[in-house]
Amino acid sequence: MGLAYNVYLDSTKIFGCKNCKTHLANYDDIISRNFRGQHGKAFLFSSVVNIKAADAMERNMTTGRHVVRDIICRQCNETVGWKYDKAYEANEKYKEGKFILEAELLQVVY
């Protein structure tokens, strides 16, 4: 299996885990800022790094039913958001394969 090394992003603005400051996402990878999570404001990202994904589960959300999996900081095991695996509504399909990071659980680290 080997060691898992953290990815360090190189950008003008980087979001990291609020708990341990591990790099999670590049500001330029935000697709939308118009999302809400369990802790308030959230962002939709095209890609994130240094995370582990929990098992997939179906959830009823404000925009309909989705198959999602929680995403967890690889460094400190804090849940930081979720990944959309499947959307059942045609107008929600754009979310598939994308990530939500909750603003309350993030910190600008660079």
Q: Residue 51: its pLDDT value, please?
A: 97
Q: Looking at residue 6, what DSSP letter applies?
A: P
Three-state SS at 103: helix
Q: Distance between CA 42 and CA 69 in Å, rounded?
A: 16
* pLDDT tens digits for range 45-97: 999 999 999 999 999 998 899 999 999 999 999 999 999 999 999 999 999 99
Note the pTM of the prediction, 2 decimals.
0.91
Q: Distance between CA 94 and CA 75 in Å, rounded?
A: 29
Three-state SS at 100: strand
Which of the four pLDDT bands, split at 50, 70 and 90, describes residue 33?
very high
Q: What's the whole-number average pLDDT of the chain?
A: 94
Three-state SS at 42: strand
